[in-house]
Structure 1
Amino acid sequence: MTARNAIFALIPALMAAPVAAQSDSEVTEFTLDNGMQVLVREDHRAPVVVSQVWYRVGSSYEGRGNTGLSHLFEHMMFKGTDAYPEGEFSEIISREGGRLNAFTGRDFSAYFEIMAADRLPIALELEADRMANLQIDAEALATEREVVLEERRLRTEDRPEGRFGERYAAIANPGTGYAHPIIGWADDVAGLTVDDLEGWYQQWYTPSNATLVVAGDVEPEAVHALAREYFGDIPEREVPAVHDPENLDPPGERRLVYRDEQARVPQLRMGYEVPSFATADDSRDPYALLMLATILDGGDGARLSETLVRGSGVAAAAGAGYNPMVRLDGEFSLFGVPADGDVAAVEQALREEIRRLQREPVSEEELERARSQLLADHLFELDSVFYQAMQLGMLETTGAGWETLDAFEQNVRALSAEDLQAAAERYLRPEMLTVGVMQPADREDEA
């Protein structure tokens, strides 16, 4: 499954009952002789452990002809080895009272188990075995290829929003691997071969390209010893160099008008290309962008719902978002659904909200409300052992570094209204903007 769907599907099962968040827990880092990184975060509130193996490879590492390879390979990682044939991995984890799954993103592929703390050696033994000894055969590939193609049909090809989203991403990310979908283009997936998968395995699934994250009721030195025992003898291989385009090269304002026969109402997407934790020249900028997104769309008192929905009534729904945990530049995104079909009015209103952020500093009251909202959301996520591991793995594989997690609160508290205004002026510019409009096919008015 894709990263977004996997993460959100897990929330109900993995969020523990509210208790004091472990935001001040220390992270211990080790590196094995074969280059594998090990991160351990202690959380002794319950006798549970989360183990995750993250590989620094995802859909953005693919090119035309092999899109979808990372996601399809995730499926193949459950097809078995000589020691543990297909199905045994899952059966063992289930028999021991644990849960497992995997997810693929644009910048990573990750595999995890959630178990009683004393069962950690079982999870590590199984993960090490498939890192080194995975079997890939044509029959298994044929089965999983059809599973993926059906997943693509259900989630994308049969949904107007899915078709629109793929077209939008293609023009919003010119020249980068973010332009194609994580699940891949259907014709590419249909053409992938055993040789393609074996080559991917040899290129990227090596200890020197992996991070083991363990969070929960564990002791760091004990985890280090287990990692050496199970992963230490797997030989490292050289990882190919990745050539990405220059960061924040202004491509000029781009526009997409997409008409869909199944669309019932118009939709608007707008996105500015902005730096991420990994690409920002000024480390304060991603935090300022997070705060700007929270001011626009952080609860009922946020600006978009206050002005566009409840105020002027021009939009039936409106929002904003920004994810700084990506390997390349990210997107500061806006969306709107017009209340009466007038997309142009919603676009004008959203552009005005951006100009307002650039013209005048936010008030102290609004700044503190957004700061409190952002920190509350952050601490609530850290209340889950699973999400502690998730944050560490995602930050590390996207190039931000796991240390960013511990610096988050301090950096958010240090922001001023002037910092936010400066970030809005620097990055939310027309030449960095993509505008996408989805219209029902029978609407002939100009978008």
Structure 2
Amino acid sequence: MNALARRATGLLLSTVILPFAAFAADPQPTHEFTLDNGLKVVVREDHRAPVVVSQVWYKVGSSYETPGQTGLSHALEHMMFKGSEKLGPGEASRILRDLGAEENAFTSDDYTGYYQVLARDRLPVAFELEADRMASLRLPAEEFSREIEVIKEERRLRTDDQPTAKAYERFSAMAYPASGYHTPTIGWMADLDRMTVEDLRHWYQSWYVPNNATLVVVGDVTPDEVKTLAQRFFGGIPKRPVPSAKLPLELAEPGLRQLTLHVRTQLPSLIYGFNVPSLATAKDPRTAHALRLISALLDGGYSARLSTRLEREQELVSGASTNYDAFARGDSLFVISATPNTQKNKTLADVEAGIWKLLEELKTTPPSAEELERVRAQVIAGLVYNRDSISSQATTIGQLESVGLSWKLIDNELDELKNVTPADIQKAASTYFTRERLSIAHVLPEEKAHE
């Protein structure tokens, strides 16, 4: 769901522009309504196959957590499969498996989601199961005692024992000094050690209410049938007050921050992160769309500037990439990662100088109209292919709604990207690629004991 620009190559551009234009001009029929208890429902019709995806999104994630109580959103996601008023632990998953359905869940900084992909005539089953655990999750203490150990092991395997993940976690904690985005989604190990099932019960009761959720349904359905089913299964769940949730805003110019990490890796690497707005926090949405295009301009395939200049022409790096999440609830980061070409004896200092030269060029010289059109078409191509499936459409809608944006952006995004000019690219680079907004991580191989 993050970097959209790298999902297609220039060879495909001539074939995808026309279908995307048609997609934007004649969007899939999409409908929204809200039940009396505050549950928002978005239905997008896609009748190509007798299949439907059902997703429930809760507006809560790790950026809502506080120091000392991290990892609650992710742990609760695990416990949502451990039984409710109607079903015992794991029974909902067995029911769906017997129906041939696909199901899973996910937690991020900004939201927690649960989804099922199944035959259209099985949609009532998905609704009944989700409504049951929205209204009456059990949270058995003995299940929590087992599951928290599973989560700790997940943290060890995916973060503590993964040098790249560990480095990025430490980097993020530094790069977000003022907002909840410095908190890892899985939580810090010390907080997992002291988490209790009572903590999760309070978290569930605070946030898992219909007026803090969005139900997204995409596929071979009509809005009337979805509305009838939603009212039948979710309509009786009472609304409750939800705690206030402030946007995760950052300091505009936190100052230059630098971190050196020694991890179990063979090669050194560099992480640059600039504090920038997202679509949700930018004063002008064009700013965020310009940053999206800059990401593709720098790292959008073989002809992108990082690959062309730093990797092939100057042989400074063996690899480099960018990432910018425009769809965060709060302020975001524009990240550039690179690995020096050690075979050519290049250093982190060499790589930093090369990156700054590229960024300064963006500030002083706008891209040519031809280069910008190529990059823009590449981003559009990625959007087209990403949204071909009903699951991708649903996920985009749910994400937009959960971060305070509207699902309607899915249908007017092409126009927003088309309006970005070379001057907008130059302005965004000049505004945001400054030392005062920069966090730097030098990730180095572990030092030997005798050193």
TM-score, L = length of structure 2: 0.92
Which residue is equivalent to 1:166?
A: 169
In the TM superposition, what is the alpha-carbon distance from 1:243 to its structure 2 partner? 3.3
State how far apart, in whole Å, the 1-side matches of 2:51 and 2:434 are.
47
State how far apart, in whole Å, the 2-side matches of 1:190 and 1:216 are.
42
Query: Which runs of structure 2 are paired with 1:38-117 in the superposition (5 Å)?
Result: 38-117=41-120
Could you tell me which amino acid in structure 2 is paired with residue 242 of structure 1? A
Could you tell me which amino acid in structure 2 is paired with residue 363 of structure 1? S
Q: Is the contact made by 2:178 and 2:251 (CA closer than 8 Å) also made in structure 1?
A: no
In the TM superposition, what is the alpha-carbon distance from 1:245 to its structure 2 partner? 5.6
Name segments (4+ residues, structure 1) moved above 4 Å.
Answer: 20-23, 244-248
Could you tell me which amino acid in structure 1 is paired with residue 122 of structure 2? R
2:329 to 327, 330, 343: 327
1:352 to 357, 360, 363: 357
Query: Which runs of structure 2 are paired with 1:193-208 in the superposition (5 Å)?
Result: 193-208=196-211
Could you tell me which amino acid in structure 2 is paired with residue 236 of structure 1? K
Cα shift readout 1:32-73 (whole Å, capped 9, x = no counterpart): 000010001110001100000000000111111111110010
Which structure ranks higher in relative contact order (CA pairs < 8 Å, sequence separation ≥ 6)?
Answer: 2
Q: Is the contact made by 2:29 and 2:45 (CA closer than 8 Å) also made in structure 1?
A: yes
1:270 to 272, 293, 315: 272
Query: Which runs of structure 2 are paired with 1:26-425 in the superposition (5 Å)?
Result: 26-244=29-247, 246-260=249-263, 262-340=264-342, 342-425=347-430
Structure 2 residues not aligned, in runs of 5+: 3-15
SS in structure 1 at match of 2:274: strand
**Distance change in 2, residues 1:275/1:443 (3 Å):** farther
State how far apart, in whole Å, the 1-side matches of 2:355 and 2:183 are.
27
Q: Is the contact made by 2:53 and 2:117 (CA closer than 8 Å) also made in structure 1?
A: yes
State how far apart, in whole Å, the 1-side matches of 2:406 and 2:279 are.
9
SS in structure 2 at match of 1:226: helix
In the TM superposition, what is the alpha-carbon distance from 1:213 to its structure 2 partner? 0.3
Cα shift readout 1:204-230 (whole Å, capped 9, x = no counterpart): 000000000000000011111111110
Which residue is equivalent to 2:5?
A: none
Cα shift readout 1:100-140 (whole Å, capped 9, x = no counterpart): 00000000000000000111111001000000010012111
State how far apart, in whole Å, the 2-side matches of 1:233 and 1:344 are.
61
SS in structure 2 at match of 1:237: coil
State how far apart, in whole Å, the 1-side matches of 2:227 and 2:393 are.
18
Could you tell me which amino acid in structure 2 is paired with residue 392 of structure 1? I
Q: Is the contact made by 1:103 and 1:110 (CA closer than 8 Å) also made in structure 2?
A: yes
In the TM superposition, what is the alpha-carbon distance from 1:187 to its structure 2 partner? 1.1
**Distance change in 2, residues 1:248/1:72 (3 Å):** same
Q: Is the contact made by 1:57 and 1:204 (CA closer than 8 Å) also made in structure 2?
A: yes
Q: Is the contact made by 1:248 and 1:274 (CA closer than 8 Å) also made in structure 2?
A: no
State how far apart, in whole Å, the 2-side matches of 1:407 and 1:166 are.
34
SS in structure 2 at match of 1:66: coil
TM-score, L = length of structure 1: 0.93
In the TM superposition, what is the alpha-carbon distance from 1:85 to its structure 2 partner? 1.1
State how far apart, in whole Å, the 2-side matches of 1:232 and 1:432 are.
47
**Distance change in 2, residues 1:301/1:245 (3 Å):** closer
**Distance change in 2, residues 1:410/1:338 (3 Å):** same
Could you tell me which amino acid in structure 2 is paired with residue 26 of structure 1? P
Could you tell me which amino acid in structure 2 is paired with residue 35 of structure 1? G
Could you tell me which amino acid in structure 2 is paired with residue 190 of structure 1? D
Name the Cα RMSD after superposition: 1.6
Cα shift readout 1:386-445 (whole Å, capped 9, x = no counterpart): 00000000011011221221111111111111111111112222111111110113399x
In the TM superposition, what is the alpha-carbon distance from 1:161 to its structure 2 partner? 1.3
Q: Is the contact made by 1:50 and 1:215 (CA closer than 8 Å) also made in structure 2?
A: yes
In the TM superposition, what is the alpha-carbon distance from 1:246 to its structure 2 partner? 4.4
